[in-house]
């Protein structure tokens, strides 16, 4: 068995037994939902419905209900898309990359992080769909055999690459997440008393019996999927960045984009994981599983990725000057001094300055402060995408076409709506799914549990 140094901070605090872990995780599913849960899901549900209403209005009336114009053809739609895809990255990174690197601390957070990934990618996938002028022919982006003759998709188009990247990513994430859930569903099944829930969880657990052979296969599949998912962490956002990087628009046409987007995605993803887990930990009483140490680890990831992003911003600025291309240099001067300078400086403050505060151990172990910064980072990352998309195209080559973008209530409504849908889904997840990977946690209890560490001494 794996042995961990005694001086390492334990990952499971308190006097936990295997049974304690099971009841801590399955308890909330068995019991009645709290009033807080009902309140939260009502609020989230209303916002979600409002967002869906806006989507219906958009599809029935036309893209003109958004604030776009002849110059700015993408704004909040693609900003939201990239933002949500980015958020999704943390889940895959935690469950796949950290699995390969044998980071045990991932076990407390990977389940909810993966759920977050799935929901975030669902929200992200909404936008490329509804931003189309004719969503009813959206299936034309798939290379389907058809009756139109030799009509085929354009494999040169980064938007098509997006279609493949996002759909692959979503599928792999979903499968990976689900495989991890199977043993836990089985545990729940075994504890359920009502026939209906027993049946449902029985179906969900695919007849898992916990045999050693099943566990071996489980481990193998997890490793294989982790191996598959790891390149996806890097490919998806690289491909999303190609939408911009392969264009001719100054401010988009940048070779630095793929690594810059990937680190930005991990950055925002971890921030979102923190936002969710800090609430969940408190509300569901998981203080012993999601410890300050976990938060600190994640904050360290935020410092690293935040700094990469910061370096990328500075590099872009340097290159715009160094390139000597007047359009390129103007695009960046306009970014930080033009009509949208407020969004640029919001981005710089939120993304570059605020995570640097985590260099202080006192701050990165302070949960309230971390919570605030996690939200600040996500605001900053939204603005990063807004800055890239809107401030680049609103003033590009031909000055006669320069314009401004002003969002309408539908733009805002749909964005807020996706947050509502996201939280509705996450609340459903928290209510009916094992939010911690309980069977995995059990594997580290004796290695890294506080009680066992004490006993060893």
Distance, in Å, from the CA atom of 59 to the CA atom of 62, rounded to the nearest integer, reads 6
Distance, in Å, from the CA atom of 311 to the CA atom of 306, rounded to the nearest integer, reads 9
Using the rule CB under 8 A, give the single segment among 61-69, 165-173, 177-185, 210-218 that binds other proteins: 61-69
34 binds other proteins (CB under 8 A): no
Residue 82 near residue 125 (C-beta atoms within 8 A): no
Using the rule CB under 8 A, give the single segment among 172-180, 300-308, 332-340, 425-433 that binds other proteins: 332-340
Query: Nearer Cβ to other proteins, position 111 or 394?
Result: 394
Total chain residues near other proteins (CB under 8 A): 55
Tokens of 278: 């800090």
Shortest approach of other proteins to residue 452 CB, angstroms?
55
CA distances from 444 to 10, 106, 108, 126, 399 (A): 10, 11, 10, 38, 62
74 binds other proteins (CB under 8 A): yes
Given candidates 46, 56, 62, 199, which one binds other proteins under the rule CB under 8 A? Answer: 62
398 binds other proteins (CB under 8 A): yes
160 binds other proteins (CB under 8 A): yes
Query: Nearer Cβ to other proteins, position 320 or 354?
Result: 320
Using the rule CB under 8 A, give the single segment among 41-49, 224-232, 329-337, 362-370 that binds other proteins: 329-337
Chain centroid to Cα 295, Å, comes to 17
Distance, in Å, from the CA atom of 218 to the CA atom of 180, rounded to the nearest integer, reads 8
440 binds other proteins (CB under 8 A): no
Shortest approach of other proteins to residue 119 CB, angstroms?
24
Shortest approach of other proteins to residue 403 CB, angstroms?
5
Query: Nearer Cβ to other proteins, position 384 or 396?
Result: 396
Distance, in Å, from the CA atom of 451 to the CA atom of 457, rounded to the nearest integer, reads 10
156 binds other proteins (CB under 8 A): yes
Residue 370: name the closest of 267, 263, 274 by CA: 274
385 binds other proteins (CB under 8 A): no
- Cβ-Cβ contacts under 8 Å for 330 (sequence gap 6 or more): 250, 395
Given candidates 194, 255, 368, 400, which one binds other proteins under the rule CB under 8 A? Answer: 400
168 binds other proteins (CB under 8 A): no
- x/- mask, other proteins, residues 2-31, rule CB under 8 A, reads ------------------------------
Tokens of 177: 């997440």
The counts of H helices and E strands in the chain are 17, 0
Q: Give a three-class secondary structure readout of 225-284.
A: HHHHHHHHHHHHHHHHHHHHHCCCCCCCCCCCHHHHHHHHHHHHHHHHHHHHHHHHHHHH
Distance, in Å, from the CA atom of 322 to the CA atom of 328, rounded to the nearest integer, reads 10
149 binds other proteins (CB under 8 A): no
Q: What residues numbered 299-318 form the site for other proteins, per CB under 8 A?
A: none
Given candidates 38, 359, 397, 409, which one binds other proteins under the rule CB under 8 A? Answer: 397
Largest CA distance in the chain: 76
Q: How many CB atoms lie within 10 A of CB 317?
A: 15
61 binds other proteins (CB under 8 A): yes
Using the rule CB under 8 A, give the single segment among 25-33, 38-46, 58-66, 299-307 that binds other proteins: 58-66
Entry field: residues in the chain: 457
Given candidates 2, 406, 454, 456, which one binds other proteins under the rule CB under 8 A? Answer: 406
Shortest approach of other proteins to residue 128 CB, angstroms?
8
Shortest approach of other proteins to residue 336 CB, angstroms?
8
Using the rule CB under 8 A, give the single segment among 11-19, 59-67, 428-436, 441-449 that binds other proteins: 59-67
Given candidates 39, 46, 100, 159, which one binds other proteins under the rule CB under 8 A? Answer: 159
Buried b (16+ CB within 10 A) or exposed e, 106-135: bbbbbbbbbbbbbbbbbbbbbbbebbbeee
Residue 279: name the closest of 295, 268, 265 by CA: 295
Shortest approach of other proteins to residue 137 CB, angstroms?
5
DSSP letters for 101-134: TT-GGGGGTHHHHHHHHHHHHHHHHHHHHHTSTT
Query: Nearer Cβ to other proteins, position 53 or 407?
Result: 407
Q: What residues numbered 238-277 form the site for other proteins, per CB under 8 A?
A: 243, 246-249
Q: How far apart are the first and last CA of the chain?
A: 18
Given candidates 43, 52, 132, 300, which one binds other proteins under the rule CB under 8 A? Answer: 132
131 binds other proteins (CB under 8 A): yes
Q: Could you list the residues that contact other proteins (CB under 8 A)?
A: 61-64, 67-74, 128, 131-135, 137-138, 140-141, 151-154, 156-160, 163, 243, 246-249, 326-327, 330, 333-334, 337, 393, 395-404, 406
């Amino acid at each position: 068995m794996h042995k961990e140094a005694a001086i390492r901070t334990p990952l499971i605090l308190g006097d936990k037994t295997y049974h304690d872990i099971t009841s801590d995780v399955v308890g909330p599913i068995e019991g009645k939902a709290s009033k807080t849960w009902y309140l939260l899901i009502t609020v989230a549900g209303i916002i979600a419905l409002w967002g869906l209403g806006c989507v219906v209005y958009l599809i029935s009336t036309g893209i003109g209900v958004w604030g776009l114009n002849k110059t700015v053809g993408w704004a909040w739609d693609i900003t939201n898309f990239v933002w949500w895809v980015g958020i999704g990255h943390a889940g895959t990174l935690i469950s796949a990359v950290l699995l390969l690197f044998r980071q045990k601390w991932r076990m407390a957070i990977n389940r909810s992080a993966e759920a977050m990934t799935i929901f975030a990618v669902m929200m992200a996938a909404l936008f490329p769909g509804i931003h189309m002028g004719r969503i009813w022919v959206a299936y034309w982006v798939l290379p389907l055999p058809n009756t139109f003759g030799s009509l085929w998709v354009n494999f040169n188009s980064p938007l098509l690459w997006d279609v493949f990247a996002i759909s692959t990513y979503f599928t792999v994430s979903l499968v990976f997440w689900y495989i991890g859930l199977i043993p836990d569903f089985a545990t729940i099944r075994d504890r359920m008393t009502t026939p209906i829930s027993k049946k449902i969880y029985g179906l969900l657990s695919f007849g898992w019996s916990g045999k050693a052979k099943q566990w071996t296969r489980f481990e193998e599949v997890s490793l294989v999927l982790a191996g598959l998912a790891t390149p996806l962490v890097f490919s998806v956002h690289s491909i999303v960045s190609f939408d911009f990087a392969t264009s001719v628009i100054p401010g988009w046409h940048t070779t630095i984009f793929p690594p810059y987007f990937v680190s930005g995605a991990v950055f925002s993803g971890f921030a979102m994981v923190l936002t969710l887990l800090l609430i969940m930990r408190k509300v569901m009483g998981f203080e012993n599983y999601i410890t300050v140490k976990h938060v600190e680890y994640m904050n360290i990831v935020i410092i690293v990725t935040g700094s990469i992003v910061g370096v990328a911003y500075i590099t872009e600025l340097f290159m715009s000057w160094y390139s000597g291309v007047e359009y390129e240099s103007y695009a960046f001067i306009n970014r930080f001094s033009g009509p949208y300078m407020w969004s640029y400086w919001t981005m710089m403050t939120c993304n570059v300055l605020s995570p640097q505060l985590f260099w202080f151990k006192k701050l990165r172990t302070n949960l309230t402060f971390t919570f605030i910064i996690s939200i600040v980072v996500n605001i900053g990352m939204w603005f990063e995408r807004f800055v890239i998309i809107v401030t680049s195209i609103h003033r590009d080559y031909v000055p006669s076409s320069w314009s401004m973008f002003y969002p309408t209530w539908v733009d805002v409504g749909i964005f807020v709506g996706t947050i509502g849908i996201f939280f509705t889904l996450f609340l459903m997840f928290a209510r009916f799914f094992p939010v911690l990977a309980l069977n995995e946690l059990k594997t580290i209890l004796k290695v890294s549990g506080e009680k066992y560490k004490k006993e060893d001494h």
